[in-house]
Amino acid sequence: MPNEPMSRHTTFRVGGEAGMLLQVSTPQQLKVMIPLLNEQKIPYFIKGNGSNLLVGDKGYDGIILEIGKEFGNIEVKGNLIVAGAGALMSSIAQEALKNSLTGFEFASGIPGTIGGGITMNAGAYDGELKDIVTKVEVINSDGEVISLSNEEMNFGYRTSIIKQKPLIVTSVTLSLNNGDSEKIKARMDELAAKRREKQPLEYPSAGSTFKRPEGYFAGKLIMDAGLRGYTVGGAQVSEKHCGFVINKGNATAEDVYELICDVQDKVKARFGVVLEPEVIFLGVF
């Protein structure tokens, strides 16, 4: 799809056009395409669910490779779950529940694909993906398929080797434990209720906007800086949870970006703490 508005493909619901958006159906397609794009020096970006992405209003002058539904396969092998990079974490959680496997409940409400989650070592409620990953299959810049162990993934807080090297996740193997389906469902329901109570799920956003600075909570710093409800255009620091920047209505990417920068500046001036965004910025700002 040429000149595709990225506002249709991100959870912020903002962003200009991509020069081209291509949905990739199979790892084989990636194996062929990636070396060609690199050889021609054509810029590209790998996108999953778009739940952690802010694309500039002027768009992205390159190719967006969107991991398609064919990457969404989920297979259970004993206490292992093998999931394609495009599988939604909510779908993996339901499959784990169906097979009475525990250990993935913390991720059941994270709005994204497992490929994107692995890239940033997503986590919530005292759990992180690094705790349950045994193997990740990736494609490198030469189109070669490589299998990486948990140790080789070089996981850290909201990072992994995928952020450090030109690697593309194609599948993930998770190791869970046998559990009681009723207890698993109860925990998932409990966490879902907490999200509804404390997070502004009714508005477009990218989830938690900032990483947790060591020794602090980003949301509390923002609140204590007097920024609850702070607004730039149609973008706002959520009044419900100050760690979230939301699209209150008709926001532009510039609104969101300017608000994020303002929050960083004001928190640093007040507390001397640098807030690092979890959100990925793509295009011109």
Catalytic residues: 158, 208, 278
Q: Directed axis angle between helix 89-98 and helix 181-198, to 10°?
A: 150
Task: Read off φ and ψ for residue 29, nearest 5 degrees.
Answer: -60, -40
**Whether the Cβ atoms of residue 208 and residue 243 lie closer than 8 Å to each other:** yes
Cβ within 8 Å of residue 19, ≥6 positions away? 2, 3, 59, 60, 61, 62, 63
Dist CA 66 CA 62 (whole Å):
13
Amino acid at 48: G
Dist CA 282 CA 213 (whole Å):
23
Positive/negative CA dihedral, 77, 81, 83, 89: positive
C-alpha atoms less than 13 angstroms from C-alpha of 16 in its C-beta half-sphere:
14
